[in-house]
Structure 1
Amino acid sequence: MSTWETFQKKVSKLAETALPTKRKLSGFEVWLVNIAAALFSGFYVYSSGFGMAAPEVHRGVYFGMTMILGFMLYRFRSTSPTTRISKADYVLIALTIGCVGYFMYEYPKMAYRAGAYTQADVIVGIIATILALELTRRVLGNILPVLAILALIYVYFGPYMPEFLLHKGFSITRISGYLFSTLDGLLGVVVNTYATYVIMFIIFGSFMEKSGVGKFLIDLPYSLAGRLVGGPAKVSVVASALFGSVSGSAVANTVATGAFTIPLMKKSGYEPHIAGAIEPAASTGGQFLPPVMGAGAFIMAEITGVSYLTIVKLAVIPALIYFFSVFVMVHFEAKKHNLKGLSKEELPDPLQTLKSGWYLALPLFVLIAFLVKGYSPNMCAFWAIISCIAVSWVKKETRMGPQEIYDALSQAGKSSLIVGAAAGTVGIIISGVTLTGLGFSFSDMILSLSSESLPFTIVLAGIAAFILGCGVPVTASYVILAVLAAPALIELQFPLVGAHLALHWYSQLSNVTPPVCLCAYAAAAIANSDPFKTGIHSLKFSIFLVLMPFLFAYTPILLDPRWTFLETLQSVIFVCLGAITFGAFLQGYYYDHNKIADYLLLAIATFCLLIFNLPANFIGTILAVIVWFWQKKRAVPMAE
């Protein structure tokens, strides 16, 4: 066994420390959970390939199975049993089956009577709402359920609210009926998007891992660039981009690639908190990089009515710029501390890696080809999954038989809970906004606070995203921002897709921004570093999360039809140069360590390069060159 293979085997176990705490079941209950998770995943693989069920069944199965698996795997409180499912949880599972069964059976009648809710509708709706809130609390914590409860209170007590929040109020019957008896409440757009698209890409990620595709996407970049200055960190960026572009989850990407990249970075000389910070910054970028872009992109397509392929086309250039900015930061970090790459013996041979595993990249090409052909994302994921199985059969050691397929389906079903647990609760919040018209009031309030200034409105949206990110998952954060803040941005002539992409980028701040930064926490567990310190540095490496919404508003990097190709090319070139100068500014190192004058000139250069103004861009470029030569002369004095 090679040094590289031995190393991989040892560090892969570290990933478990970053996963959410679950029950460790045994015996019959392990089988019960695994078979339920596999059937859950298998249902959506089948429906994506051979035709979806009726809407109430399609959404009901996702909503119900997510809650059933959640109650099986996550405890009510710290004193609950850890090795078995409690009796109380079996009761909750039975209630879930009853509620979802009632919804799927009665929905055609409920749709027919449209608003004339029966007593059974109301009672079952109340139970389903409580179950959804409880599942979210167990899996994701208290903040999101509290927000949902506040939304319900606001809906009920509307007549007693302050003037700018005043509305007529709604009865418990109307609230419960709307939440449960329609396709706009608990089982609304979020559940539909997760069931239609998101779970398929989670399943695809699981099949990538089992088939050896995921391993190839990590091995190849390391074999090619691991020996460069700061090589492990640079390749971490590339590997996280490749893996994250199809995994659909920043946390999953952090854990999957970080188990290998973080120990290698530490070994090459990076401090633990720096190694832990680079991986979340790179993994978060996977949420923007096509072809998958994370759950938020699918919801964006649903909300805006713009095709997913169009969103992908608009998002690709900003995503590449983001990864370039992280790469630049990593480079200056390595130069500042004179960090070398890994030795040849510690890395796989690039030619051998490519020769022996080139075919493992075929599932990615299948996915992209089907997207370009105009197939729905879930159908694209279906054929990508089939291709994973096909390429796995090339070699005996990666061959996926019935057991491996079952394991991949089961793992995907369980992994989906981190995303799916929020779906019903976010539906409650959206329902509160829809019923009361809060979106328009909130939008007016933002416009008033910002004096209808687009830059200030973008800042306010960023602050709202930061606050939401302290307790709300990234997708839920985007959905809330989309219904509350997007109208204000659009009112100020921010293009529709640009406004939603800006909010999608802002929603990812919670991955890397203390005090709650899930990706940074996961990476810190692997790096054995301080989570808060890791989060602070992770935010520094991913600083373009903050800047990109402004670039969407004021530069042509989105390939918007309003701009010509040459204008877009100009903007991309100078923004990339701005990423270099900004990285040098933040890292305190360009060709040499920065001095006060260097910081000042680099700051001015960055500003000039990031704005869309050709004379300013040239000034910024000249300043960047001057500082570089100045530092070079200072670092290497001319011989007398």
Structure 2
Amino acid sequence: MSYSEVDTQNKGLELARKMAEEEEGIARRPRGAEKWVIPTIAVGWSLFQLSIASWLILDSTYIRSIHLGFALLIVFLNYPVLSKKRFGLKFLSATHRIPLSDYATAIVACLCALYIVLDFKGITMRYGAPIPRDIAVGILLTLMLLEAARRVIGPALPVIAVCFCIYAFFGPYMPDLIAFKGTSLNRFVGQMTMSTEGIYGIPLDVSATIVFLFVLFGAMLDKAGAGHYFIQLALSLLGGFKGGPAKAAILGSGLTGMVSGSSIANIVTTGTFTIPMMKKVGYPPTKAAAVEVAASTDGQLAPPIMGAAAFIIAEYVNVPYVEVIKAAAIPAFASYAALFYITHIEASKLGLKGMSRKELPVFFKTFLGGLHFMLPIGLLLYELVVVRHSPELAAFHAIWVMTLIMLFQEPVKAYMAKEPVVPAIHRAVNNIFSAMASGARNMVSVALATAAAGIIVGVVALGLGGLITEIIDVISMGNIYIMLAITAIASLIIGMGLPTTATYIVMASLTAPAIVTIAGYQEWFVPLMSAHLFCFYFGILADDTPPVGLAAYAAAAIAKSPPIATGLQGFMYDIRTAILPFMFIFNSDLILHEIYSWPQGLLIFFMACMGNFAFASATQGWFVAKNKIWEVPLFLSVTVCAMRPDAIASLVGLPHEQRYYIYPVALAIFGIIYLIQKPRMPKKPAMASVLE
């Protein structure tokens, strides 16, 4: 590789890391003593969250208020008013110092968030009849929150929230179809800032009590080196197979995504290693980046953590979190299985080989070298799934185990390498506090997304819920299929400018009840869990949807590929994920609704994989050989039979209880396609691996 190529590669990695830092919440880098201000507040926030999870008992409203106060304090100290210098006012975009104006704004915003705590008794006594001071502070808090969200997330969510606020006041003057009785200023402020139905609602509560601990746990794993361990482990297992680095990228990204919750951070952690390796074995840069995008984006679908939105689903649907894990398991793992299948197809089309064994890490040495990372993850899974502890308690226990591992990891390494132990202890302590600061920074966008989305939820709760269902019913003409298409497209469009969590909250508040209701009009039962997971899936898919998908830009920067082309290719890979929500809306077996038998669940999972494989072959143009155009309907028929056996059974007159008799039909058609294509298989297929 020439010097210019190395320089270009380094610039791409630096750009991707910068994007990851921006998502993590590193916008300013003050110098001198000021550089400790933001990390100190961030560590204080982490210690507060750990306290309420262990020994500190506070009212839930206090917890939400303090959580938001910390987030606003960090935002206004960390993010300048403008990202670029404009109007000749340099202090508006200062990145190496914190202007006095931002100190003042941060303190005022924090006090506004804490107002409900500072005058809790008074506010409780006069709820429904706010005094002028309540109104003034409520309006100021709403404006401060929207400005903070603009600085961190961008203008999309504040603009949507402002539109809902305007609608709340001007509803009576709207056209008849969307006319709304409106609200008074007193009621609006009371709903938004003096109750738990607006800003301090369920989304912020989940952010404050559960999500923070999981994000902190992920930050500690990352700081300890677990991300690098996962990708090395994946390479040692899969790197030697056909297109091995792509398969390793999927496994590594899936493991990292379980605890990361951020597609961009996932790409920077795993893609830095896997994308150059994919290019080395023959993947074009665009496809190498697209594989990493698809794998990292779908990491948020993988149980047991699934990002912040999954915890909010549990609260909205009012079920234990383990039920969300159960419902998400088959679609998530079937999606990942299909992505493995797609990379195999791509490798077959391109005639690629695997990496030589001497280039790959040794499995057992790699596995044992990071086995300690499995201990806190195993404990987390045990407490969530087996003991059925609350998510916050499970995360807290995993965190203190992870803290002990971080505390002893560096000294043990130093001792084994016969290096001084005292500096290693110092590094270990620094890593722990650095992880606490990083976890808090990561939480800023989640906290603000949930709080700002709470404004939208609050407006809907003012009485818009039934009206929205009627409006959607009219727009979709009462057709559930059109309704789902509108929801999917809206989620993709809104998700281009919003984090996954905010997209889910907005769409679930507006459409999830409507999906269930409109399906009921057509005598079609849709579980509420299915409707919420539908919104969740398309919110995640927005991360790689052109032209804004930031995940595609990060991967393209590493691969040096065109971002739009990378996003389009990534979206083509993710189409196999996009069909799953449409399937489980109508076939609740896929989310294991009222399925309690392991053999039955495994059968459904196997056939969901077969259906997704067939769909991937149809969209990628290849099975064991290049597809003929007339073979595509056959692949699609396999998909329908495997994922909607209930519909086919109904068409042929079988009772619902005998729907699984359709599964052999799907397998038979798949087998027939194989026999048809077998004579067209390449005469010299690429070797599965290269042994040297």
Q: TM-score, normalised by structure 1?
A: 0.93
The secondary structure found in structure 2 opposite 1:340 is coil
- Aligned AA for 1:431? G
- Within 5 Å, which residues of 2 pair with 1:569-580? 569-580=602-613
The equivalent position to 1:559 in structure 2, one of 592, 606, 609, is 592
The question of 1:620 aligning with 2:673 is answered no
Which residue of the partner structure matches residue 581 of structure 1? 614
CA distance in structure 1 between the partners assigned to 2:662 and 2:479 by the alignment: 23
CA distance in structure 2 between the partners assigned to 1:603 and 1:419 by the alignment: 39
CA distance in structure 2 between the partners assigned to 1:252 and 1:584 by the alignment: 30
Which residue of the partner structure matches residue 418 of structure 2? none
Which residue of the partner structure matches residue 401 of structure 2? 387
Which residue of the partner structure matches residue 406 of structure 1? 433
Post-superposition CA distance 1:13-52 (Å, at most 9, x none): 6641332272232222211111111111121122212244
CA distance in structure 2 between the partners assigned to 1:345 and 1:14 by the alignment: 31
Which residue of the partner structure matches residue 273 of structure 1? 286
The equivalent position to 2:558 in structure 1, one of 523, 526, 535, is 526
- Within 5 Å, which residues of 2 pair with 1:124-523? 124-372=137-385, 373-392=387-406, 393-394=408-409, 395-396=412-413, 401-435=428-462, 437-491=463-517, 492=519, 493-523=525-555
Distance 1:255 1:420, change over 3 A: farther
The secondary structure found in structure 1 opposite 2:53 is helix
Post-superposition CA distance 1:274-324 (Å, at most 9, x none): 121112211222222211111111111111111111111221122111111
Post-superposition CA distance 1:67-120 (Å, at most 9, x none): 111112222111111211223212211211331342221123212221110111
Percent identity, please: 35
CA distance in structure 1 between the partners assigned to 2:32 and 2:184 by the alignment: 47
Which residue of the partner structure matches residue 625 of structure 2? 592
Which residue of the partner structure matches residue 46 of structure 1? 51
Moved more, 553-562 or 13-22: 13-22
Moved more, 62-71 or 604-613: 604-613
- Aligned AA for 1:534? T
Any conservation in 1 of the 2:549–2:567 contact (CA below 8 Å)? yes
CA distance in structure 2 between the partners assigned to 1:636 and 1:466 by the alignment: 39
- Aligned AA for 2:490? A
- Aligned AA for 2:495? G
CA distance in structure 2 between the partners assigned to 1:182 and 1:240 by the alignment: 40
CA distance in structure 2 between the partners assigned to 1:382 and 1:169 by the alignment: 44
Cα offset, 1:564, TM superposition: 6.4
Post-superposition CA distance 1:521-572 (Å, at most 9, x none): 2222222222211111111111133211222123312111168666544433
Distance 1:70 1:528, change over 3 A: farther
Any conservation in 2 of the 1:258–1:523 contact (CA below 8 Å)? yes
CA distance in structure 2 between the partners assigned to 1:262 and 1:636 by the alignment: 27
CA distance in structure 2 between the partners assigned to 1:637 and 1:121 by the alignment: 78
Which residue of the partner structure matches residue 115 of structure 2? 102
Cα offset, 1:150, TM superposition: 0.5
- Aligned AA for 1:17? K
Distance 1:211 1:155, change over 3 A: same
Any conservation in 2 of the 1:52–1:58 contact (CA below 8 Å)? no
Cα offset, 1:270, TM superposition: 1.6
Distance 1:119 1:568, change over 3 A: same
Which residue of the partner structure matches residue 604 of structure 1? 637
Which residue of the partner structure matches residue 17 of structure 2? 16
CA distance in structure 2 between the partners assigned to 1:17 and 1:628 by the alignment: 46
How many residues are matched?
630
Cα offset, 1:616, TM superposition: 4.9
- Aligned AA for 2:453? V
Cα offset, 1:260, TM superposition: 2.2
Distance 1:323 1:401, change over 3 A: same
Any conservation in 2 of the 1:446–1:457 contact (CA below 8 Å)? yes
Post-superposition CA distance 1:337-376 (Å, at most 9, x none): 1222222233211111123322321111110111121211
- Aligned AA for 1:374? R
Any conservation in 1 of the 2:335–2:609 contact (CA below 8 Å)? no
Instruction: Supply the RMSD in Å over aligned alpha carbons.
Output: 2.4
The secondary structure found in structure 2 opposite 1:628 is helix
Cα offset, 1:257, TM superposition: 2.0
CA distance in structure 1 between the partners assigned to 2:266 and 2:450 by the alignment: 21
CA distance in structure 1 between the partners assigned to 2:362 and 2:642 by the alignment: 39
Cα offset, 1:384, TM superposition: 0.9
Cα offset, 1:207, TM superposition: 0.8
The secondary structure found in structure 2 opposite 1:84 is coil
- Within 5 Å, which residues of 2 pair with 1:48-87? 48-77=53-82, 78-79=84-85, 80-87=93-100
Moved more, 319-328 or 559-568: 559-568
The secondary structure found in structure 2 opposite 1:590 is coil
Post-superposition CA distance 1:588-627 (Å, at most 9, x none): 2211222323334333333333321456543432332233
Moved more, 218-227 or 388-397: 388-397
CA distance in structure 2 between the partners assigned to 1:362 and 1:407 by the alignment: 21
Any conservation in 2 of the 1:196–1:378 contact (CA below 8 Å)? yes
Which residue of the partner structure matches residue 4 of structure 2? none
CA distance in structure 2 between the partners assigned to 1:261 and 1:421 by the alignment: 33
Cα offset, 1:449, TM superposition: 3.4
Cα offset, 1:156, TM superposition: 1.0
CA distance in structure 2 between the partners assigned to 1:321 and 1:619 by the alignment: 20
The secondary structure found in structure 2 opposite 1:49 is coil
Cα offset, 1:470, TM superposition: 2.8
Which residue of the partner structure matches residue 629 of structure 1? 675
- Aligned AA for 1:533? A
Any conservation in 2 of the 1:67–1:93 contact (CA below 8 Å)? yes
CA distance in structure 1 between the partners assigned to 2:374 and 2:611 by the alignment: 33
CA distance in structure 2 between the partners assigned to 1:98 and 1:380 by the alignment: 32
Any conservation in 1 of the 2:41–2:74 contact (CA below 8 Å)? yes
Cα offset, 1:586, TM superposition: 1.8
The equivalent position to 2:571 in structure 1, one of 524, 533, 539, is 539
- Aligned AA for 2:440? G
The secondary structure found in structure 1 opposite 2:119 is helix
Gaps of 5+ in 1: 1-8
The secondary structure found in structure 2 opposite 1:261 is helix
CA distance in structure 2 between the partners assigned to 1:177 and 1:575 by the alignment: 48
